[in-house]
């Protein structure tokens, strides 16, 4: 079937096929970008898919949600003077064709290794390590606390960014490698680490870090103050219709939460961020889409206090303006509150989206060494303080993007195979 329309052809032809491949250097997963684009140019879509499969099994996902502008597209030679090559669009294009045509993720060997690995958590890190191990012949079982796999991809990324049918099809391809899944199985509730050690030769922990961090300000315990991560994961939203909502933060969780709340009928949604717009960690496209959808942005502003009414419900927030100053030892400008610039805003709800942390009720019972930030401590080989137990993704303190989580899973698979050998 001919999938190449004029728009896609222009995107493909726009690639210079650089010898130095700066886009590949900028890609967290180290995808062979010029090579797969040249295969698309020849309309050899299966070859393009095979090239991408060498480094990632999440093509339709990463093609849609990765921060391309700050990674592969940000390094594109074209981006210096013009627009970058639409690498993300082309990756998703290939991934979608692979779903439609049923291209499989090929195994690296037909040999079956007599070693069993348990993967706790079916998010991007867990799926990636499971796929890599299964492709090398290892017997893998994923333990997933929900009735569907995906982790943050399913419970943190809104469906308007990542359609459910695309996610389901991507996961189905991974499971076709022969991976077993135990659904509705949560560590600490349905089984323990000791249980797994009795049954498996190695264990990989990747159940994420999805507990919203707090700002440590007065009023965070009032009715109507929510964590962005929890709202996205559980979907237990209040009635926003006709309401005014403040979202604190500048990352993708803040953008996803704000856009979701606006779509659910909020009259006014404002994102309050203490730094400048150019310092926002959120993907540029996410920010622009939020603006187009009518979301307001208050840059260089900070929430000092949340105030409530007699029923302990959110009524107002006290904010203050900030200035950016260069401090010794800091790589980027630091926001400092401007004395006397305080002001009040009437709001109905406040959402904290200023970061996330690991669920300590789980990690504290594992008997593993933790870092000061509450992550599971791992060495350069992703091994925890317990022999044969590995960790990655958010749980291991890896950079908080889907691509970095996936990379950590792929890299950990090499370490696990070395350990089992």
Considering the domain architecture, whether residues 222 and 308 belong to the same structural domain is answered as yes
Assess whether 340 and 285 both reside in one domain: yes
Q: DSSP character for 44?
A: -
- Rounded distance between C-alpha atoms, residue 151 and residue 256, angstroms: 16
DSSP 111: P
pLDDT at res. 356: 84
Q: Decide if 75 contacts 22 (C-beta within 8 A).
A: yes
CA–chain centroid gap for 281, Å, is 13
Domain stops at, among 67, 101, 135: 101
My answer on whether 248 and 351 are in the same domain is yes
Q: Could you write out the DSSP letters of every residue in 193-250?
A: HHHHHHH-SEEEE-----EEP----BTTTSBTEEEHHHHHHH------BT-EEEEE--
Q: Are 105 and 127 in contact (CB under 8 A)?
A: no
Same structural domain, 227 and 334:
yes
Tell whether 60 and 163 lie within a shared domain: no
Within a domain: residue 107? no
Question: Is residue 109 included in any domain, yes or no?
Answer: no
Q: How many CA atoms lie within 13 Å of 97's alpha carbon, on the beta-carbon side?
A: 20
Q: Determine contact, residues 53/85, Cβ cutoff 8 Å.
A: no
Tell me if 111 is assigned to some domain. no
Q: Is 10 helix (H, G, I), strand (E, B) or coil?
A: helix
> Which pLDDT does position 106 carry in this prediction?
97
Residue 414 resides in a domain: yes
Q: Do residues 301 and 319 touch, judged by C-beta distance below 8 A? A: yes
State the Rg of the chain over Cα: 23
Tell me, yes or no, whether 301 lies in a domain.
yes
Whether residues 337 and 377 share a domain: the answer is no
| Residues 225, 317 within the same domain | yes
- Rounded Cα distance, 144 and 119, in Å: 9
Residues in the chain: 421
Residues 68 and 22 reside in one and the same domain:
yes
Q: Are residues 277 and 344 in the same domain?
A: yes
Q: Domain of 42?
A: 6-101
Q: What is the pLDDT of residue 136?
A: 98
Can you give the pLDDT at residue 284?
87
Strands 334-337 and 301-308: unpaired
Helix, strand counts (H, E) of the chain: 16, 16
* Residue spans of the chain under pLDDT 50: none
DSSP 8-class letter at 274:
S
CATH code: domain of residue 385:
3.50.50.60
Contact in structure between 214 and 352 (CB atoms under 8 Å): yes
Judged by phi (left if over 0) then psi (alpha if -120 to 50, else beta), residue 184 lies in left
Q: Identify any residues that bridge with 299 across adjacent strands, giving them in sequence order.
A: 273
Instruction: Specify if 1 maps to a domain.
Output: no
From CA 181, how far away is CA 106, in angstroms rounded? 20
Name every residue whose Cβ is closer than 8 Å to that of residue 78 and which is 6 or more positions away in sequence.
Answer: 14, 16, 84, 85
Q: Which of these three, 72, 101, 130, is where a domain ends? A: 101
pLDDT at 2 (0 to 100): 83
- The pLDDT, as a whole number, for residue 283 is 87
Using the Cα atoms of residue 283, residue 289, residue 293 and residue 295 in order, give the sign of their dihedral: positive
Query: What are residue 297's DSSP bridge partners?
Result: 271
Residue 261: the pLDDT is 97
Structure confidence at residue 40 (pLDDT): 97
End of a domain among 66, 101, 136? 101
Instruction: Say if residue 248 is in the same domain as residue 337.
Output: yes
Query: Residues 67, 28: contact at Cβ < 8 Å?
Result: no
The pTM is what?
0.92
Question: Could you please report the per-residue DSSP string of 363-386?
Answer: HTTTT--B-TTSPBP--TTSB-SS
Q: What is the pLDDT of residues 211-235, one digit of tens each?
A: 888 899 999 999 999 999 999 999 9
Domain CATH code at residue 68: 1.10.1060.10
pLDDT tens digits, one per residue of 8-59: 999 999 999 999 999 999 999 999 999 999 999 999 999 999 999 999 999 9
- Same domain (yes/no): 226, 198: no
What are 152-196's pLDDT values in tens digits?
A: 999 999 999 999 999 999 999 999 999 999 999 999 999 999 999
Beta bridge partners of 180: 141
- Closest residue by Cα to residue 181 from 131, 247, 106: 131
Question: How many structural domains does the chain have?
Answer: 3
Distance CA 94, CA 92 (A): 5
Distance between CA 313 and CA 318 in Å, rounded?
A: 15
| Contact present, 18 and 77 (Cβ < 8 Å) | yes
* In a domain? residue 106: no
Domain presence at residue 110: no
Q: Is 198 exposed, middle or buried (CB count within 10 Å of its CB: 0-12, 13-18, 19+)?
A: exposed
Identify the sign of the CA torsion 141, 146, 147, 150.
Answer: negative
Assess contact for 361 and 354: CB atoms under 8 A: no
The pLDDT of residue 314: 97
User: Same domain, yes or no, for 204 and 226?
Assistant: no
């Amino acid at each position: 079937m001919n999938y190449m329309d004029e728009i896609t052809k222009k995107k493909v032809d726009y690639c210079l096929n650089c010898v130095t491949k700066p886009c590949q250097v900028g890609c967290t997963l180290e995808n062979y970008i010029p090579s797969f684009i040249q295969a698309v140019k020849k309309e050899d879509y299966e070859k393009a898919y095979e090239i991408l499969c060498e480094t990632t099994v999440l093509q339709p996902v990463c093609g849609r949600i990765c921060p391309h502008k700050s990674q592969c597209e940000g390094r594109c030679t074209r981006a210096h003077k013009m627009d970058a090559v639409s690498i993300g669009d082309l990756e998703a294009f290939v991934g979608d064709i692979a779903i439609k045509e049923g291209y499989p993720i090929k195994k690296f060997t037909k040999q079956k290794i007599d070693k069993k690995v348990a993967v706790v958590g079916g998010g991007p890190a867990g799926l990636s390590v499971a796929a890599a191990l299964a492709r090398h012949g290892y017997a893998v079982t994923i333990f997933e606390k929900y009735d569907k796999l995906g982790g943050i991809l399913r419970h943190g990324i809104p469906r308007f960014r990542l359609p459910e049918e695309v996610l389901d099809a991507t996961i189905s391809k991974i499971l076709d490698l022969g991976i077993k899944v135990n659904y509705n199985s949560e560590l600490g509730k349905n089984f323990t680490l000791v249980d797994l050690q009795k049954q498996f030769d190695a264990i990989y922990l990747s159940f994420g870090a999805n507990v919203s961090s707090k700002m440590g300000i007065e009023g965070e315990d009032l009715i109507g103050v929510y964590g962005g991560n929890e709202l996205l994961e559980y979907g237990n939203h209040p009635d926003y219709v006709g309401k005014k909502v403040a979202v604190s933060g500048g990352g993708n969780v803040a953008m996803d939460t704000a856009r979701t709340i606006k779509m659910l009928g909020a009259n006014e949604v404002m994102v309050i961020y203490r730094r400048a717009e150019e310092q926002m960690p959120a993907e540029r496209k996410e920010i622009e889409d939020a603006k187009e959808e009518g979301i307001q942005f208050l840059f260089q502003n900070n929430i000092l206090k949340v105030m409530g009414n007699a029923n302990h419900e959110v009524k107002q927030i006290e904010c203050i303006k900030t200035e950016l100053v260069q401090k010794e030892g800091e790589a980027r400008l630091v926001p400092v509150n401007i004395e006397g610039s305080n002001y009040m805003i009437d709001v109905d709800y406040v959402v904290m989206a200023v970061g996330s942390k690991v669920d300590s009720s789980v990690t504290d019972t594992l008997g593993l060494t933790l870092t000061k930030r509450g992550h599971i401590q791992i060495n350069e080989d992703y091994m925890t303080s317990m022999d044969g137990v590995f960790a990655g993704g958010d749980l291991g303190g890896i950079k908080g993007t889907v691509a970095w989580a996936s990379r950590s899973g792929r890299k950990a698979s090499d370490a696990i195979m070395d350990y089992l050998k």
